[in-house]
Amino acid sequence: MQSLYDIPAPAKLNLFLHITGRRDDGYHLLQSAFMLIDWCDTLHFEIRSDGLITREDLSWPLPADDLCVRAAKALQTETGCTSGAHIGILKSVPAQAGMGGGSSDAASTLLALNRLWNLRLPLEKLMAIGLKIGADVPFFLSCRHGWVEGIGEKITPLQLPSAQFVVVKPDAGLDTKLIFSDPELKRDSETAIISGFAANTLTFGRNDLQAVAQKLCPGVNQALAWLATLGLSGRMTGSGSAVFAHLLHAVDLQNAPDAMQVRVCNSLDVHPLLGWANSDGN
């Protein structure tokens, strides 16, 4: 029985997030800079000869049809692969945090099973499969920091300076659908350009979802207020509820509220699975 263990699935931070419009099908158009950080889930894989996809939760319970299972089944359907897999998921990245945990798990699943099943699909094909699973999956498959546009499918690799952050996740999460359906959501931000972002990488823009999130989730306000007591300027990542602040000096994190997860995170240079799928499928 061939096995592959300890496959990382790193989280991301949205350094900014602007909503620039909305398509006729309801999908929102966005611009954002995604930065990979070292807060990771860990996935364990074992090949099954019976074609079944099974999953074991190694931390907290996940939905029966989570994104890893959907990714594995989509890869089978696309290729006609008759092999199966048993997937163990050790979650660390919190859910409903805006950090892309589920999407990152799905991306690492596609990369790992493409290799384990010897499918040799090129990265472009994996990204097309990933986009059907979730808007953020192609970013994680790209394995680099990215300037992200459209509904998440337009990705330009970015070189970003190394940085350290305090990331705070309130006890409550946020439902992305509730935020994007809120009538008060700002949907008309001006289109930004990469050069303007590059001049102020860690302070550029804002998160257009934050105002709505603060209305829906008091924990976001509490996390931002606590960061302010440390002299840190916080911002929500993604659709929340996690917030983060660029860490430039030592701070005392011992007095963090009990209901919040607090972690000091470093940016990654690249995704740990960079090169697991090449553009030519080799």
Residue 155's H or E segment, with its range, is strand 154-157
Alpha carbon distance 171, 177 (integer Å)? 19
Confidence grade of residue 1 (pLDDT, cut at 50, 70, 90): very low
Angle at alpha carbon of residue 113, lines to 109 and 116, rounded to 5°: 145
pLDDT above 70: residue 282: no
Contact 162, 266 (CB under 8 A): yes
Q: What is the arithmetic mean of pLDDT over 127-133?
A: 95
Alpha helices in 161-206 (DSSP H): 176-180, 194-198
Residue 195 pLDDT > 90: yes
Average pLDDT, the chain: 94
What CATH number does the domain containing 220 carry?
A: 3.30.230.10
pLDDT (tens digit per residue) in 82-109: 999 999 999 999 999 999 999 999 999 9
Q: Smallest Cα–Cα separation from 212: which of 202, 204, 220, 224?
A: 220
pLDDT digits (tens, 9 = 90+) for 135-145: 999 999 999 99
Whole-number pLDDT of residue 2: 59
β-strands 53-57, 84-90: how paired?
parallel
Comparing CA positions, the residue from 100, 96, 90 lying closest to residue 35 is 100
Find the domain containing 228 and state its range. 1-282
Summarised one tens digit per residue, pLDDT across range 17-38 is: 999 999 999 999 999 999 999 9
Catalytic residues: 12, 136
Between 11 and 256, where is the model more confident? 11
Q: Residue 278: its pLDDT value, please?
A: 74
Q: How many folded domains does the chain comprise?
A: 1
103 burial type by CB count under 10 A (0-12 exposed, 13-18 middle, 19+ buried):
buried
Model confidence at 171, in pLDDT bands (50, 70, 90)?
very high
Q: List Cα–Cα distances, 93 to 59, 103, 180, in angstroms.
A: 11, 11, 22
